[in-house]
Structure 1
Amino acid sequence: MTVIAENAEPLARRASKPVPNQTAVARIDWNWLGAVPYFAFTALFMILPIFYIFIGAFQTPEGSFTLQNILDLASPTLANSYWLSIRLSLASAAIGTVFGLALAYAVILGGMPTWMRHAFTTFSGVAANFAGVPLAFAFIATLGRLGLVTIILRDVFGINIYSGGFTLFSFWGLALTYLYFQLPLMLLVITPALEGLKTEWREAAEILGASRMQYWRMVGVPILAPSVLGCFLLLFANAFGTLATVIALTGSNFSVVPIVLFQQIRGNVLYNPNLGYALAFGMVVIMAVSNILYLMLRARAERWQK
């Protein structure tokens, strides 16, 4: 019996030991497989096109290396298109930041009922992605020369907005159109920062004798400033890459950078694909700088609110 017990113990230990191949398979973490479609999509539609644009920006149509495409970006026509896009993006981003912050304050901190707050948030999620031809048509039907609001203001209130110089197909008309998706986007991205303002900070300021204005000037505004500036940069980047809305609203008469880029790559007259790649490369640089600054400001805001 003793011999059997001594032999059975090593056999039991050997049987309990996992097979090496089974151990290796068991140690593999398969959870990352869910992220494979995302990384594949990012590589195919973001990373690889950026490399393709970068290479094409420094090539001639024959494939040789050149810096002429980059130097041509300083020509008056292309420089003006960049400046027009930057001014339009800055204007819509600034207005969207100011009024979007006021709207977010009213929704989040203004004592609005919960059901109304959820309704605003849901609508903002839809409106922030509403652009292109449907948005242009909606504004033409509303504020065009024969739009509903234009006719009501003219026939009921005697106000002719077009006689005063306003036109939907101008710089400020485009900026106004951009606000339709800029304001909801501002509401969505600034909401976490407003919710991060702790009640204890306001109560401590009141205990120390600070007025409401002093609380916002010395506590609220410094804490929110990085988030607000980051949202401004995000709105700027969002407006800078808009193409479909501009084309649908003004045709190709408003020469922002995306339209000039489209003409260089697809146009019959202004056909220079490599110059188009250079234009796209300049846009990528501007967008990258804006997003990097936004991420830096967001990280700073998160440190403040911890």
Structure 2
Amino acid sequence: MVLVLLLPILIMVIASFQSTDGSFSLANYQQVITNHYYLKAIRNSLGISVVASAVSLVIAVIGAWALTRLSQKTKNILITLFNMSASFAGVPLAFSLIILFGNAGVWKAMTAAMHLKDSLEIYSLTGTTLAFTFFEIPLGIMFLFPVFEELNPEWREISAVLGAKPLFFFKKVILPVILPNMIEVFTLLFANAMGTYETIYALTGNSIVTIPILIGTLIDGGLTANIPLACTFATLFALVMTLIVWVGNRVTRSKREAA
């Protein structure tokens, strides 16, 4: 923990308050607040992460519930596929999406052949968000499936015998069990999306700027490299993730205590 997490974070925070010559400075944080390009990177990262995580969570909830309704053999096959899909990110995923939805891809050829209007642009902000859901959805299903698997079918029968209506049963029995887990999974999906670098870089290069892309550019920029500024963005990134995790833990703790 000290070598891998605490020490690097400490060095990163200290470096964020330094200029390129090593002297103490607040100029890095001032640039982040005043530079429109840097603010755009923050907005893009937050926007992509929130939308991709929310959409993926909704589909993952439906997928995890549907998975519990299948036979054990089918479950095992799909779980294996979901495990593979959750790990299928980075350059291979970007290359697959380019083959499917790129300018010379399968989707473009199909829509052109059928004389249909094609408004999907995989190299755009919307296309990048769609790309993130390709690995976020199976990841969410794998996290949520054990939760739905533990729901006892007899609970509904007992609730019906006691005279509870389906809405009451869902609100008072099912929701308190799954909601804290959904919040935790959203936090994990958000963190995963915020830190994704390879997929968006392989898909769009530097045409769409995000915090990871910006950090990579500031580190590997040759003559334009600025390690202290990169550390500033990394520090802000860590603060955002800490805040998200803290809020998620607070909400889930209060939900579990209320249940």
Using the size of structure 1 for normalisation, the TM-score is 0.77
Task: Provide, for residues 45-98 of structure 1, a one-character-per-residue CA deviation record: whole Å limited to 9, x for no partner.
Answer: 433322221111111222222222222221222122111110110010010011
CA contact (8 A) 2:187 2:244 kept: yes
Decide which of 72, 85, 100 is 2:60's aligned counterpart. 100
CA distances 1:109-163 after superposition (whole Å, capped 9, x unpaired): xx211111112212222221221111100000011122123323432x43242xx
Over 3 Å counting, the alpha-carbon distance change for 1:150 and 1:211 in structure 2 is farther
**Deviation string, structure 1 residues 167-213 (Cα, Å, up to 9, x no partner):** 00111101111011100111011123212323343222111223434
CA offset digits 1:251-292 (Å, max 9, x no partner): 111011111111212113642211111011111111222233
C-alpha separation in 2, matches of 1:297 and 1:227: 11
Partner of 2:109: 151
Q: Given residue 93 of structure 2, which amino acid in structure 1 is its aligned partner? A: L
Tell me the distance in 2 between the aligned counterparts of 1:269 and 1:158.
48
Between 1:282-291 and 1:46-55, the stretch displaced more is: 46-55
Instruction: Report the count of equivalent residues.
Output: 258
Give the distance between the partners of 2:148 and 2:179, measured in 1 at CA.
Answer: 11
User: 1:255 aligned to 2:213?
Assistant: no
Is the 2:176–2:255 contact (alpha carbons within 8 Å) kept by the matching residues of 1? no
Query: Are 2:137 and 1:180 equivalent residues in the alignment?
Result: no
Unaligned runs of 5+ in 1: 1-41
Contact 1:227 1:297 (8 Å CA) reproduced:
no
Q: Report the 3-state secondary structure (helix = DSSP H, G, I; strand = E; otherwise coil) of the residue aligned with 2:33.
A: coil
Cα distance change on mapping 1:185 and 1:277 into 2, 3 Å: same
The percent of aligned pairs where both chains have the same amino acid is 28
Equivalences for 1:178-217 in 2 at 5 Å?
178-217=132-171
Partner of 2:230: 276
- Higher relative contact order, chain-length normalized (CA < 8 Å, sep 6+): 2
* Greater Cα radius of gyration, structure 1 or 2: 1
Match of 2:39 among 57, 79, 82: 79
Q: Is the 8 A contact 1:230 1:293 kept in 2?
A: no
1:69 to 28, 39, 43: 28
- Partner Cα distance (1:125, 1:297) in 2: 28
2:7 matched to which residue of 1?
A: 48
Gaps of 5+ in 2: none
Structure 2 CA distance for aligned equivalents of residues 154 and 117 of structure 1: 37
Residue of structure 2 aligned with 1:126, choices 79, 84, 96:
84
- Given candidates 35, 48, 51, the residue that maps to 1:91 is 51
CA RMSD between the two structures: 2.1
TM-score by length of 2: 0.90
In structure 1, the residue matched to 2:178 is: 224
| 1:60 paired residue number | 19
**Aligned twin of 2:97:** 139
